[in-house]
Amino acid sequence: AFLRADNEFVTIAHALAAAGYATWSAHPYKRGFWNRAVLHPRYGFARSLFARELGPGPKIAWGLADDAFFDRALAAIAEGPRPFFGFLITLSVHHPYESFPDERKVLELGRLEGTATGNYLHGMRAMDAAVAGLFADLEARGLADHTLVAIYGDHDARLGASPEVLALAGIPRWTPAVPALIERVPVFIVPAGGELHGEVDRVGSLVDVAPTLLHLLGVATPGSFIGQPLLPGPGPDLGVAAYADGSALAADHLYVAGGREIGRRGACFTASGGDPRPLEECHALASAAAALLAASRAVVDFDLARALAEGGE
């Protein structure tokens, strides 16, 4: 956020701006947090809305409640030129989940009530309602049939591998593979018109979200992007999701680079259940992840995005 803030970034916002989209970002918190006021223009956003622009209102956790945030952000964006690309960063469901407003509670959580996990579940229920309100607002404004909506998390819930989390995730017991297995985020893509087409069972990571959206919008993916579109297909799933620590996930295997009860050379598991496998079965996966991470870091550390996007080597 600060170390490479003067890079010449190439993002989905740049690609869509070049295709004629108005680009917006919005986040109901301090504009200086994670250097967003500096970075968002460099990320290609022509206009940004932060706490000051969005104004005061009902709060959950760190900032403006998601339903109020969606209402205000969409109202501003919808008044601007079209087509538009809006990047909305919500804040209500964010650790440490120390509390949740009693008047907004809907769920009966029993022994989880008052715990971090319980507050997280209350927050997610509120998020669900806020998302439903967002779609209703798009419909009311006549935008639903012309708007593709993508919803994803930027990192996991930071709740750890507690017994209640494992139970909610349907994991019967802790194993050394569990921390990597539960480090997942949801990605929902709703095409214009709102028709859902089911689950795409492909391995991917956050670097694949932008290429997927650009593909669906018919916009060329910049050459500096590392990810690939997450699309259904008849062939085998060859996707690799690389973790920052060198761990990696593929369709059949999970390589864990380090952690509790993990050896110095890492460990290999099945991707589905986390059952141990010989380390040799993960050598190719570990190498693929290392190459992806090295390429990604080189693009940022040596400011290569612009050159690669323009066809450089």
What pLDDT score was predicted for residue 153? Answer: 94
Whether the predicted pLDDT of 308 surpasses 60 = yes
| Contact partners, residue 170, CB within 8 Å, separation at least 6 | none
Please report the pLDDT score of residue 200 as a whole number.
Answer: 87
Asked whether the predicted pLDDT for residue 83 surpasses 90, the reply is yes
Query: Given pLDDT bands bounded at 50, 70 and 90, which one contains residue 39?
Result: very high
Per-residue pLDDT band at 64 (split at 50, 70, 90): very high
Percent of the chain with pLDDT over 90: 83
Give per-residue pLDDT as tens, 129-162: 999 999 999 999 999 999 999 999 999 999 988 8
Residue with tokens 């108005």: 22
In the prediction, which pLDDT does 225 show?
95
What is the predicted pLDDT for the residue at 233?
74
pLDDT over 80 at 196, yes or no: no
What phi and psi values does residue 241 have, to the nearest 5 degrees?
Answer: -105, 115
What structural domains does the chain harbor? 220-313 (3.30.1120)
pLDDT of residue 273: 87
Whole-angstrom distance, CA of residue 105 vs CA of residue 126: 8
Question: Contact, 85 vs 12, CB < 8 A?
Answer: yes
Question: pLDDT tens-digit profile of 212-241?
Answer: 999 999 999 999 999 999 987 777 788 999
The DSSP result for the chain, as a single string, is --TTTTS----HHHHHHHTT-EEEEE-SS-TTGGGHHHHHHHTT-SEEE-HHHH----EETTEE-HHHHHHHHHHHHHTS-SSEEEEE---SS-TT-----GGG-----GGGTTSHHHHHHHHHHHHHHHHHHHHHHHHHTT-GGG--EEEE-SS-----S-HHHHHHHT--S--TTHHHHT----EEEE-TT------------GGGHHHHHHHHHT-PPPTT---------SS-----EE-TTS-EE-SSEEEE-SSTT--TT-EEEETTT--EE-GGGGHHHHHHHHHHHHHHHHHHHTT-HHHHHTT--
Percent of the chain with pLDDT over 70: 99
Evaluate if residue 305 carries a pLDDT over 50.
Answer: yes
83 vs 147: CA distance, rounded Å: 9
**pLDDT interval class at 313 (50, 70, 90):** very low
